[in-house]
Amino acid sequence: MAEPVLDIRNLSVAFPTRHGVLTAVDDISLEIAAGEILGVVGESGAGKSMTGMAVLGLLEPPGRIAAGEIRLEGERIDQLGEAGMQKVRGRRIGAIFQDPLTSLHPLFSVGDQLVETIRFHLKLGRDAARARALDLLREVGIPAAESRIDHYPHQFSGGMRQRVVIALALSADPDLIIADEPTTALDVSIQAQITALLKRLCREHGTAVMLVTHDMGVIAETADRVAVMYAGRLAEVGPVAEVVRQPRHPYTKGLMGSIPSLRREVEELVQIDGSMPRLNAIPRGCAFNPRCGHAGPRCRKERPSLAHGRVACWLEQGGVQP
């Protein structure tokens, strides 16, 4: 098998605080191949964004990578430091965030921002960079790109701004794109345009994509594989069709059942009582055990691992009895 573009091994992200160390991402391992879209889902606070930020080298101090390795095309990037990561970000890893305005400068035209980014990473002349900027804007579906290129971000709609951000992320033809809730702020009809665009670009350029979202529907239509996170850990990883249609982890099952159906009448939605624990109160053993209907003594003592399987649950690894 070809080497994955992104290879995360036993990654932990920690925040030292006055009351002790909070582990926001706890020993997770993931791979993404070229041209593959890996969806990362989970509820807010599950650690999705922190995983993406760790890869981008954008953890806000005191947050830091406490353990594990991150490899891009086989080369470790978790120890490069800020100077090293500045060359990696934009050039080899593109980023797309929920609010396009965080990625765009309000006082520069989108053309200037694209040209600047392209020249910084690709060492092109001004004219060549502008030509590439125009190509990119056309590629992401900005109509009348020639006249729009000199407009400012506030002159674009939310959906169009997100297209510009995608153009920026693609400007140096990166190996990997981290897209964190890229469609969450957009209306449904625009959401579909943006996910279809991401998918097409990923296919055509062979880019690996980590698509972070809380929206199972977006994952079902966009991702090839999906990783379900709970309390900083991976609950389940697998091909999207399997995880959506036959979820195996009790948490994933509950999550899928709690989503109202577009096709069927359901009198009552599946309800997982309680809520995800806070980082300072993660239960011993399986983090899901207080909310799990199958929990046994082993779940309260030992943490199940994903190992080489698909599901981190004792039910699949010898049972819940000690």
Partner 1 sequence: MSTFPLLEVDGLERRFDVSAPWLNRVIERRPKQILKAVDGVSFSIPRGETLALVGESGCGKSTIAKLVVGLYPPSGGTITFRGDERRVQMIFQDPFASLNPRWRVGRIVAEPIRTLEPGRPDAEVEARVAELLATVGLNAGDGTKYPHEFSGGQRQRISIARALAGEPEFLVCDEPTSALDVSVQAQILNLMKRLQRQFELTYLFISHDLSVVRHMADTIAVMYLGRIVEIAPTAELFAHPRHPYTRLLLETIPDLEAPKRDRTPMAGEVPSPIDPPEGCAFHPRCPLAFDRCKTERPELAGEPDRHRTACFAALPVASAASCVAPARAQSRST
Ligand X SMILES: Nc1ncnc2c1ncn2[C@@H]1O[C@H](COP(=O)(O)OP(=O)(O)O)[C@@H](O)[C@H]1O
Q: Can residue 281 be called a binding residue for partner 1 (CB under 8 A)?
A: no
Q: Can residue 182 be called a binding residue for ligand X (CB under 6 A)?
A: no
Nearer to ligand X, 33 or 70 (CB): 70
Residue 147 interacts with which of Mg ion, partner 1, ligand X, none, CB < 5 to 8 Å by class: none
Which residue among 35, 141, 283, 309 contacts partner 1 (CB under 8 A)?
Answer: 141
Q: What are phi and psi of 83, to 5 degrees?
A: -60, -45
| Stretch in the footprint of ligand X (CB under 6 A) among 38-46, 130-138, 189-197, 304-312 | 38-46
Residue 128 interacts with which of ligand SF4, Mg ion, partner 1, none, CB < 5 to 8 Å by class: none
Nearer to ligand X, 229 or 311 (CB): 229
Window 55-94: contact mask with ligand X (x via CB under 6 A)? -----x--x-------------------------------
Which residue is closest to Mg ion by CB? 49
Calpha distance 229→123 (Å, rounded):
39
Residue 68 interacts with which of ligand SF4, partner 1, ligand X, none, CB < 5 to 8 Å by class: none
Q: Can residue 147 be called a binding residue for partner 1 (CB under 8 A)?
A: no
Shortest Cβ distance from residue 230 to Mg ion (Å)? 14
Give me the DSSP letters along 239-293: EHHHHHHS--SHHHHHHHHTSPPSSS--SS-----S-PPPGGGPPSSSTTGGG-T
Q: Can residue 307 be called a binding residue for partner 1 (CB under 8 A)?
A: no
Q: How many CB atoms lie within 10 A of CB 82?
A: 9
Which residue among 55, 177, 197, 202 contacts partner 1 (CB under 8 A)?
Answer: 197
Nearer to ligand X, 50 or 198 (CB): 50
Calpha distance 31→210 (Å, rounded):
10
Calpha distance 227→75 (Å, rounded):
23
Shortest Cβ distance from residue 297 to ligand SF4 (Å)? 10
Q: How many CB atoms lie within 10 A of CB 188?
A: 9
* Residue numbers 91-120 binding Mg ion by CB under 5 A: none
Handedness of CA 148, 152, 157, 161 (dihedral sign): positive
Which residue among 12, 23, 29, 49 contacts Mg ion (CB under 5 A)?
Answer: 49
Nearer to ligand X, 61 or 318 (CB): 61
Which amino acid belongs to residue 102?
Answer: T
Shortest Cβ distance from residue 26 to ligand X (Å)? 10
CA dihedral 21, 27, 32, 37 (to 10 degrees): -60
Q: How many CB atoms lie within 10 A of CB 217?
A: 14
Instruction: Compute the 3-state secondary structure of the chain and give helix, strand, coil in percent, each to the nearest 5.
Output: 35, 20, 40
Residue 58 interacts with which of ligand X, Mg ion, ligand SF4, none, CB < 5 to 8 Å by class: none
Calpha distance 140→196 (Å, rounded):
10
Calpha distance 7→54 (Å, rounded):
13
User: Binding residues for ligand X, per CB under 6 A?
Assistant: 15, 22, 24, 42, 44-50, 60, 63, 279
